[in-house]
Amino acid sequence: MPTIEQPSHQDDEFAERYAFAKRVALDAAGRAMAFYARRSSLIVEHKGGDLQDVVSIADQDVEAFIRGELARHFPDDGIIGEEGGSDGLQARCIWVIDPIDGTACFLNGLHNWCVSIGLMVDGEPLLGAIADPNHDELFHGFIGRGAFVNDTPLQAHRASHVREGLVGVGTTHRPGKENFLPFISRLLDDGGMFLRNGSGALMTAYVAAGRLIGYYETHLKSWDCLAGLVLVREAGGRSNDFLRGDGLLGGNPYLVAAPGVYEQMAAMVGPSLDSP
**DSSP character for 180?**
H
If we measure between CA atoms, which residue out of 70, 92, 265 comes closest to residue 187?
265
Cβ-Cβ contacts under 8 Å for 108 (sequence gap 6 or more): none
**DSSP character for 236?**
T
SS3 (DSSP) at 22:
helix
Could you tell me which residues are annotated as the binding site? 82, 98, 100-101, 224
Total residue count of the chain as it appears in this document: 276
CA distances to 6, 108, 144, 227, 231 from 10, rounded to whole Å, are 11, 42, 10, 18, 18
Could you tell me which residues are annotated as the binding site for Mg(2+)? 82, 98, 100-101, 224
SS3 (DSSP) at 245:
coil
For residue 13, how far is the Cα from the chain centroid?
A: 24
